[in-house]
Amino acid sequence: MWLERLKVFTRTSIWRFTLIFTLIVILICSSILALVYHFTVGEQQRKIAQQVTIVTQGFADLANSPSMTKNDFRSTIQQRIDKSGTIILLLKDNDNIIGNLSSLPKNVANYPKLQHFPIAIVNHLGDTTVEIVLGTNLETRFGRLSIALFDNNYQILESNFRSASIVALSFALVVTLISGFLLNRRVLSKVKEISELTANVKAGRLKSRLPLSGRQDEFDMIAEQINQMLDEIDELINSVAQVTDNIAHDLRTPLSRIRISVEDNLSLCDEGSDDAQWRIGLLVEIDQLIDTFNAMLELSRLEKAVQPNSFAAVNIESLCHDVIDLAMPLAEEKNQALVLDINIDNDTDNQTPLSIIKGEANLLFRAIFNLVDNAIKYTPTGGDIFLTCNISAQKTEIIVRDNGIGIDEEYYKLVFQRLYRLDASRQGKGFGLGLPIVKAIIDLHGGSISLSPSNPGLMVKVILK
């Protein structure tokens, strides 16, 4: 789970930006450190090297002066050793050695090259320590002279500098990564808000809007634009629905007037006369028209509706019993078995029975009855229809299953569309608004409805929360 989230997180552009930004910060820090190194530790280094060079140059000049004798040179070396505690000198002439070093270090570069090399020092307690010195070898006519200066400070400085640099660089790394993470999270949460909104709108909740932080930043600007766009879409959809509503509504009044006048004169005609027959036929047609308009109006009301105030406690169990009571004779007429099966999960210690849900009893009854009625209609004589109701603390599941002719899977989505009818000729009864109304009722209750094959036949599953 968190791995998945991490993957999403690291795929974002902000995260890439953070990484690049971190890299740049590290580069800048490193160059600053290099500069600092050059002017501090490097300076120190250069000073010592300069000293070594000056001393060496001094001895070279001394050795080159024609008045200098071997003994004088040696005594000068001895004097320098006695005077200074930091200089190390060693003169080797054949097997004759003088100086404060016991042996000539090997592989030391010749002047003017300088080199760091270790020497072992025994202090007055007899402990041996290794020190680093900077020195060089100088060939003179009195023998080979090694000159070196203690360079302890250099070593300590360099190691201090190194650890300080590591600390500073890791600190910079951590800070940039954390701030990148926080920034990323903020942006991601904003993006998440937007994607949640679009999901909401897609699910038909056109009234949802993005919250504004009031900071007037770029996110607010996007949010405002999206909200305005949604306002406009909402308005458009409403106006379309309003137009259809108005048409249906306006046509209903003249239709009812026509109906009234046809029915009104019916009582004056002889029963069974041609006139009466004609009027009755007309009444049937008008009633069908009116029913269609009513159903369309009803459907748009249901689709537009937010949960109405009339939602109350509904006992889904007794509602299912009522549906069976009403539908039973219809099934009996076709010799069909109509079976009710109610399973209630008793595993909970709820105060209210699980079969009580919040809803509108008339609408729910109508929806479930419609499904059962459809099943009876589309199942041949002698078939079986099952109404199953699974009630648990999490959800209420209502399943209507038959072994009738069923519906091809490609039509599963279409049958919920307004005025869609499976028989292309539109000859059959009904006006293709039954299932859309059922769906609208279930949607209004925050539930879902789905179709699946039942081999043979059809299974309609309604899930209410």
Partner 1 sequence: MKLLVIEDDKTTVEYIKKGFIEQGNIVDTAENGPDGLFFATNNHYDLIILDRMLPKLDGLAILAAMRAANIITPVIILSALGHVDERIKGLKAGGDDYLAKPFSFQELYIRASILVERNTISQKTNGPVTELTIDNLVMDLVGHKVTRGGIELPIQPKEFQLLRYLLEHQNKVISRTLLFESVWDYHFDPKTNVIDVHVAKLRKKLEENNQSQLIHTVRGAGYVVRTS
Report, in Å, the least distance between residue 266 CB and partner 1: 8
Closer of 19 and 255 to partner 1 (Cβ)? 255
Report, in Å, the least distance between residue 10 CB and partner 1: 51
Closer of 120 and 326 to partner 1 (Cβ)? 326
Alpha carbons 413 and 191: distance in angstroms, whole number: 31
60: tokens are 């070279």
Closer of 88 and 295 to partner 1 (Cβ)? 295
| Distances, alpha carbon 130 to alpha carbons 52, 122, 133, 451, in Å | 20, 9, 10, 87
Report, in Å, the least distance between residue 252 CB and partner 1: 6
288: tokens are 């069908």
438: tokens are 């059922």
> What are 385's strand-pairing partners?
338, 402
Report, in Å, the least distance between residue 288 CB and partner 1: 10
Closer of 207 and 249 to partner 1 (Cβ)? 249
Query: 442 CB contacts (<8 Å, ≥6 apart)?
Result: 367, 448, 449, 462, 464
| Cis status of the peptide bond prior to 211, with omega within 30 of 0 | no
Closer of 201 and 460 to partner 1 (Cβ)? 460
Alpha carbons 238 and 357: distance in angstroms, whole number: 30
Residue type, 365: F
How crowded is residue 172: how many other Cβ atoms within 10 Å of its Cβ? 16
| Cis status of the peptide bond prior to 353, with omega within 30 of 0 | no
Report, in Å, the least distance between residue 305 CB and partner 1: 8
Q: Which residues bind partner 1 (CB under 8 A)?
A: 249, 252-253, 255-257, 259-261, 263-264, 266, 280, 283, 290-291, 294, 297-298, 301, 305, 308-310, 322, 325-327, 329-330, 332-333, 360-363, 365-366, 369, 373
Closer of 231 and 287 to partner 1 (Cβ)? 287
Closer of 9 and 369 to partner 1 (Cβ)? 369
Report, in Å, the least distance between residue 276 CB and partner 1: 9
Phi, psi (deg, nearest 5) at residue 323: -60, -45
Q: Of 395, 402, 379, whose CA–CA distance to 460 is shortest? A: 402
Closer of 6 and 284 to partner 1 (Cβ)? 284
4 CA to centre of own chain: 9
Alpha carbons 260 and 253: distance in angstroms, whole number: 11
Report, in Å, the least distance between residue 459 CB and partner 1: 22
Number of continuous H segments (helices) and E segments (strands) in the chain: 10, 12
Query: 63 CB contacts (<8 Å, ≥6 apart)?
Result: 73, 138, 140, 141, 142, 145
Closer of 61 and 250 to partner 1 (Cβ)? 250
Report, in Å, the least distance between residue 206 CB and partner 1: 20
Report, in Å, the least distance between residue 370 CB and partner 1: 9
